[in-house]
Amino acid sequence: MKAALFSPVAYQGTASPGWPVPADVYSQEAAAHSFSSAIERFRLADEIGFDWVTVAEHHFSPFSLTPNPMLLAGALTQVVKRAKIAVLGPTLPMLNPVRVAEEFAMLDTITGGRVIAGLMRGTPNEYVTYNINPEESRARFQEALQLLRMAWTEPQPFGWQGRHYEFRAISVWPRPVQKPHPPIYMSGSSPESGEFAAKNQVGLGFAVTTIPLATKAAAYYREQANIAGWTPTPNDIIYRCGIHVADTDDQAQADMANLPAQRRFSISNPALEQAVAGTSYYGRDFEAQRGRVGRPGAIKDAVENGQILLGSPATVMTQIGRIRDEIGAGILDLIFMHPTDDKARHAIELFGAKVLPRLHEME
């Protein structure tokens, strides 16, 4: 089993909740510290043996300071020297897919073939960012994914005329190092996404959900893959959750209990519901998504649902075993939740020393 360290580069200053968030209290010093702290965590994770580091795209909120995760991934190529760099991902329906293909190819070249391509639809509120109709997001995503694959693999210049994208000539330079292209993952909580991923032999990722929901979705994905003539491995499934590990269970519980509520559950993005509540513009797609999102409640419930790994190394290892056994995930994408640098560093180092070696032995 593999471990990834994810950071949304959350703003470590004072800010109001909601979406979009006014910038009247924005502090350049706090933002700079947020980036330096996140980069240091990535460097440490690489140093102690994490298999991946991961970044993502979000807009207009202190929840995440990475509106362009490709820029952060580029910076990480100079810091992370061994682990794979997973961009999970660009919000594909909002972007130019040819540009995305070019940027991934650049990163793959710079890293010598260590890039993972997570291609995401994104949350409904964020389509407002670039004025994209969410009702088109699934169709745009599916067409863009096919276009990316062709851009990475077709050696001759080609044109593209689809429903949502039209290009006169495409010939991507540089070319990806990995053949036929970097590994692709997509978010797969919905049956439609799971079926599409299975038919196209794309890996699946689960975030802001629960073990029971992800277990059901993963089973459907495998069923559809078998129909399509292939069998996913554990490495085709990513499960993202929060984590805080301490020397003892009591210390871990105390650390979390002393955090403000908004810090405890940084794995969730409440702006999603605030931005679209009561807004018919987002239609049925959001209503369906709301039912698949596991909103954290009390810490105890979040641990029980598999949204947070919490405790001593031994306790956390038991919780990881449940994720592997029930979901069949082979890649654990972890958000170290404590915002203070010393607590987070200790948690990462403790995980690296006491959990990671055992996790790597899991089959």
Task: Give the integer Cα–Cα distance in Å for 208 and 227.
Answer: 28
Predicted confidence (pLDDT) at residue 244 exceeds the cutoff of 50: yes
Per-residue model confidence as pLDDT tens digits over 34-61: 999 999 999 999 999 999 999 999 999 9
Mean pLDDT of 18-25: 90
- Which segment, 7-16, 28-37, 130-139, is predicted with the most confidence on average? 28-37
Per-residue model confidence as pLDDT tens digits over 137-188: 999 999 999 999 999 999 999 999 999 999 999 999 999 999 999 999 999 8
Per-residue model confidence as pLDDT tens digits over 95-105: 999 999 999 99
Band the pLDDT of 258: cuts 50, 70, 90.
Answer: confident
Q: What is the mean pLDDT of the chain?
A: 90
Which range has the worst mean pLDDT, 118-122, 214-218, 226-230? 118-122
Task: Give the integer Cα–Cα distance in Å for 66 and 72.
Answer: 7
Residue from 47, 118, 110 nearest 77 by CA: 110
Mean pLDDT of 325-344: 95
Band the pLDDT of 127: cuts 50, 70, 90.
Answer: confident
**CA distances in angstroms from 37 to 9, 26, 162, 258, 300, listed in the order given:** 8, 17, 43, 21, 28
CA-CA-CA-CA dihedral for 304, 310, 316, 321, to nearest 10 = 30
Structure tokens belonging to residue 73 = 């991934």
The DSSP symbol for 2 reads E
Mean pLDDT of 111-127: 91
What distance, in Å, lies between the first and last C-alpha atoms of the chain?
A: 6
**CATH (domain of 71):** 3.20.20.30
Mean pLDDT of 290-304: 68
**CA distances in angstroms from 352 to 73, 240, 334, listed in the order given:** 22, 17, 12
Predicted confidence (pLDDT) at residue 33 exceeds the cutoff of 60: yes
CA-CA-CA-CA dihedral for 122, 124, 129, 133, to nearest 10 = 110
Predicted confidence (pLDDT) at residue 284 exceeds the cutoff of 70: no
Per-residue model confidence as pLDDT tens digits over 265-274: 444 445 444 5
Band the pLDDT of 279: cuts 50, 70, 90.
Answer: very low
Task: Give the integer Cα–Cα distance in Å for 212 and 217.
Answer: 9
pLDDT at 129: 86
pLDDT at 260: 64
Predicted confidence (pLDDT) at residue 6 exceeds the cutoff of 80: yes
Q: Which secondary structure element, helix H or strand E, spans residue 326, and what is its range?
A: helix 313-327
Task: Give the integer Cα–Cα distance in Å for 126 and 219.
Answer: 29
CA-CA-CA-CA dihedral for 38, 345, 357, 3, to nearest 10 = -20
Band the pLDDT of 363: cuts 50, 70, 90.
Answer: confident
Band the pLDDT of 261: cuts 50, 70, 90.
Answer: low
**3-class state of residue 119 by DSSP:** strand
pLDDT at 89: 86
How many of the other CB atoms lie within 10 Å of CB of 262?
14
Domain count, the chain: 1
Count, in order, helices (H) and strands (E) of the chain. Answer: 14, 11
Q: Which domain holds residue 169?
A: 2-361
pLDDT at 238: 98
